[in-house]
C-alpha cells in the first residue's frame, strides 16, 4: 500500500478551477461528496480574508446549483452545492481509490492525497495523462500494512503484548505472563515477538531512509 501526495492542475471550465483562479489568494477545500447520477452535492470550506466575495461569486455563477451557506466563521465559510465533481475526483473513482478529505484547491491547482496499492496509483497518474491534467508527485511512500507485514500469530501476540502492558514503562507484563496470555510456550512467545519486532523495525527504518533520500 502506497501513500502519494500530489499536486494536479485543475481542468479549465470546472468549478474548482474557475473560483480558485478568480480568487487566487483563497483556498477552497473539498471536504465531502454526496454521489449523484451526473452531479453530486459537494461540501466546500472557503478560507479567505474575505470569504463573502467568493461566496457571492459562487452564488451568482453558473454551475453551482442548490447553493447554500452551511457555516460562517472568522476567515472561513463552509458552503454546499450541487455540481459536477472536479475531474481529479473522477480520476480517483476510475482508479478505484477512495476520496480523501480535504482536496485543497488554490489558484488552479489541487493538492491531494491518495492511499492505494501501487498499481492503482499508477492507474491514477495514467488517467491524469489521459485527460491532459498536468501533475507532480510531491512524495510517495509505503504505508505500514500490518495485515501483510506480520503473520496472524505475530499480529495477535503483538496486540496481546500491548494490551497486557508488555511494552509499558515500567513493564506490567513479563515474557512468561505474555506467553500465558497468548496460550503459547515461553520460547514460542519470545521467538514470535522478536520476529514481529524485527519486521516492524525494518519497515520503519526503510521508510525513514526513503524519506531522507527524497529530501
Q: Are 33 and 134 found together in one domain?
A: yes
> Are residues 15 and 33 in contact, defined by beta-carbon separation less than 8 angstroms?
no
Whole-number pLDDT of residue 73: 81
Percentage of the residues of the chain whose pLDDT score is greater than 70 = 91
Cα-Cα end-to-end distance for the chain: 21
Percentage of the residues of the chain whose pLDDT score is greater than 90 = 71
Where does a domain end: 91, 108, 142?
142
pLDDT tens for residues 173-198? 999 999 999 999 999 999 999 998 88
Alpha-carbon distance of 198 to 113, in angstroms, equals: 29
Number of domains in the chain: 2
Whole-number pLDDT of residue 76: 87
Whole-number pLDDT of residue 38: 72
Where does a domain end: 88, 108, 142?
142
For 27, the domain range is: 2-142
The low-confidence residues of the chain, meaning pLDDT below 70, are 36-37, 143-147, 204, 206-215
Whole-model pTM: value is 0.68
Burial readout 183-200 (b: 16 or more C-beta within 10 A, e: otherwise): ebeeeebeebbeebeebb
Q: Are 113 and 195 found together in one domain?
A: no
Dihedral pair phi/psi, residue 110, rounded to 5°: -115, 130
Amino acid at each position: 500500500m502506497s501513500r502519494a501526495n500530489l499536486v494536479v492542475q485543475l481542468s479549465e471550465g470546472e468549478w474548482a478551477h474557475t473560483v480558485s483562479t478568480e480568487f487566487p489568494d483563497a483556498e477552497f477545500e473539498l471536504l465531502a461528496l454526496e454521489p449523484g447520477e451526473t452531479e453530486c452535492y459537494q461540501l466546500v470550506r472557503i478560507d479567505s480574508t474575505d470569504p463573502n466575495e467568493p461566496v457571492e461569486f459562487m452564488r451568482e455563477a453558473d454551475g453551482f446549483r442548490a447553493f447554500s451557506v452551511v457555516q460562517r466563521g472568522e476567515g472561513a465559510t463552509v458552503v454546499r452545492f450541487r455540481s459536477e465533481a472536479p475531474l481529479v475526483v473522477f480520476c480517483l473513482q476510475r482508479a478505484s481509490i477512495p476520496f480523501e478529505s480535504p482536496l485543497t484547491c488554490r489558484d488552479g491547482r489541487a493538492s491531494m492525497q491518495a492511499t492505494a496499492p501501487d498499481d492503482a496509483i499508477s492507474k491514477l497518474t495514467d488517467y491524469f495523462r489521459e485527460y491532459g491534467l498536468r501533475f507532480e508527485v510531491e512524495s510517495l511512500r509505503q504505508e505500514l500494512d500490518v495485515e501483510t507485514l506480520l503473520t496472524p500469530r505475530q499480529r495477535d501476540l503483538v496486540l496481546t503484548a500491548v494490551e497486557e502492558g508488555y511494552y509499558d514503562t515500567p513493564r506490567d507484563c513479563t515474557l512468561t505472563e505474555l506467553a500465558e496470555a497468548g496460550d503459547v510456550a515461553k520460547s514460542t512467545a519470545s521467538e514470535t515477538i522478536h520476529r514481529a519486532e524485527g519486521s516492524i523495525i525494518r519497515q520503519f527504518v526503510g521508510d525513514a531512509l526513503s524519506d531522507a533520500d527524497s529530501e
